[in-house]
Structure 1
Amino acid sequence: MFEKDIDIDYGLIIKNKVPILTMDNDWKKIFGNSKNKDINNYKNILNDLIKEQRELSRKLVQLKTKKKRLMAMILNLSHEINNNSNSNSRAVEKLDECQSEILTINEEIETYTFKLEMLPKEIRTANLNLLKATIKVAYKDIKSTQKELKILNNQIDELREKLKNLIETKHEKEETINKTYSFLHGILGSKEMERLDAELLQSK
């Protein structure tokens, strides 16, 4: 039953706003330490994709910051070259270096941006696969636990019946004592009963 693939609609991830499972506290509490091979496999894939997304975002911020700094340098160098007839060749060379570096940065920004645009879909797919693996394990555990629960409920019912019988027996014994005691009390009187109680009922 649990070996076949779980049929979960991809749109469910978006429609129901299913969280990233490895970042969800409830999922981590229940399945975070699971020994299941599929869960661990998809968990690692998902975590790697999230890590890659964070790393690319960090690099993209760094590249854009660097590009901004280079653009400012180009403006300064251009101003220096255009307004200084005695500008040296080093300024022109530096300008070319900055422009060349910006071209390289633009290519890297384009590459990282494209990868970042693709990653959300890959993350949703990995999350869906992890959800399917989780559902398989969850229902397997539920089925197993239900069997254990049925046994426990039967044991509880047996104990309840036993307790009920014990309580009935207890009440019967108490009623027998009360009837016997009442009979003797009526014949002998309280004073004689007190003497006999002290003599015959004291523990030995």
Structure 2
Amino acid sequence: MKHEEDGSRRELFVQALEGKRIPVLTLDNKWYQLLDEEARKDVAQLEGELNGLLKQQGKLNNEVKEIKRLKKRLMEEIVSLMGEEEQGEDSENAQKSEQNRRLVEECNEKLEACQDQLLDLPREIERANFQLMLATMDCCYDSMAENSAVIRETEEWVAEIRVELKKRLVRKQELERHNHAIYNYMHDVFGAEVVDIFDMHHDLDGQEM
């Protein structure tokens, strides 16, 4: 029964997320504030998977920048060497140009490989982020349910305390009135000596004299 409820709940979450633009959760400070230590353990694997994909994307982007920078330098050298006087196939400049052309081809191959991976990564990141969001919703649902139970319990406790407090205040007032009545009667009979006679170390409201 519990499994069916969880499955039904998960379907509702999936439907609710359809068409929604979900921020990358592990880059959102608000997301970290939602989860307590126990919840973070529950989503740790999905969190790690998402962070791994983001790290891979960042690494590939840096590689692309470095390769483009190298390719630009190589191309500039090729153009520069083309302007030199020595044009023989065995000349140092010709060999350098040929070497640079081979390196440019390698750069192109590496760029293509990196860009192919970069094309797939956004979908993988979106998928991992979606799964992490579902797990987060599960944790938040459970957390809210537990919190609501504690809130209701606390409200009931406070209500009971209020009733008990009112009863005690009424009883306190009755006892104070009774003390006053006793004191006034005895004072009328014995005068000021009533304090010594009754060994009254407290005043009529229960405070030390």
Q: Which of residues 96, 119, 122 in structure 1 aligns to 2:121?
A: 119
Q: Which of residues 90, 95, 120 in structure 1 aligns to 2:92?
A: 90
Q: What corresponds to 2:192 in structure 1?
A: 194
2 CA distance for matches of 1:58 and 1:23? Answer: 19
Give the TM-score normalised by structure 1: 0.83
Per-residue CA deviations over 1:69-96 (Å, capped at 9, x if unaligned) read 111111121111xx34689622111101
The farther-off stretch of 139-148 and 84-93 is 84-93
How far is the alpha carbon of 1:98 from its aligned partner?
Answer: 0.4
> CA 1:10–1:126 in structure 2 vs 1: closer, same or farther (change >3 Å)?
farther
Per-residue CA deviations over 1:102-148 (Å, capped at 9, x if unaligned) read 11111211221232233223212211111111111211222122223
**Contact kept in structure 1, 2:26 and 2:47, CA below 8 Å:** yes
- What are the ranges of 5 or more consecutive residues in structure 2 without an aligned counterpart? 202-209
Q: Which of residues 69, 73, 88 in structure 1 aligns to 2:73?
A: 69
Q: What corresponds to 2:172 in structure 1?
A: 170
> CA 1:144–1:155 in structure 2 vs 1: closer, same or farther (change >3 Å)?
same
* Aligned ranges 1:141-156 → 2 under 5 Å: 141-156=143-158
Q: What corresponds to 2:59 in structure 1?
A: 55
**Contact kept in structure 2, 1:77 and 1:95, CA below 8 Å:** yes
How far is the alpha carbon of 1:32 from its aligned partner?
Answer: 6.7
Structure with the bigger RCO (C-alpha within 8 Å, sep 6+) is 1
**Contact kept in structure 1, 2:78 and 2:97, CA below 8 Å:** yes
Give the TM-score normalised by structure 2: 0.81
CA RMSD of aligned residues (A): 2.3
* Aligned ranges 1:96-135 → 2 under 5 Å: 96-135=98-137
> CA 1:154–1:76 in structure 2 vs 1: closer, same or farther (change >3 Å)?
same
Percent identity between the two aligned chains: 25
Per-residue CA deviations over 1:1-38 (Å, capped at 9, x if unaligned) read 224433243420x2xxx3211122222233274221xx
Q: Could you say what secondary structure the match of 1:66 adopts? A: helix
2 CA distance for matches of 1:85 and 1:113? Answer: 36
**Contact kept in structure 2, 1:42 and 1:130, CA below 8 Å:** yes
The farther-off stretch of 164-173 and 150-159 is 150-159
> CA 1:85–1:114 in structure 2 vs 1: closer, same or farther (change >3 Å)?
closer
- What are the ranges of 5 or more consecutive residues in structure 1 without an aligned counterpart? none
Q: What corresponds to 1:11 in structure 2?
A: 19
Amino acid aligned to 2:41: K
**Runs of 4+ off more than 6 Å:** none
2 CA distance for matches of 1:107 and 1:50? Answer: 23
> CA 1:86–1:77 in structure 2 vs 1: closer, same or farther (change >3 Å)?
same
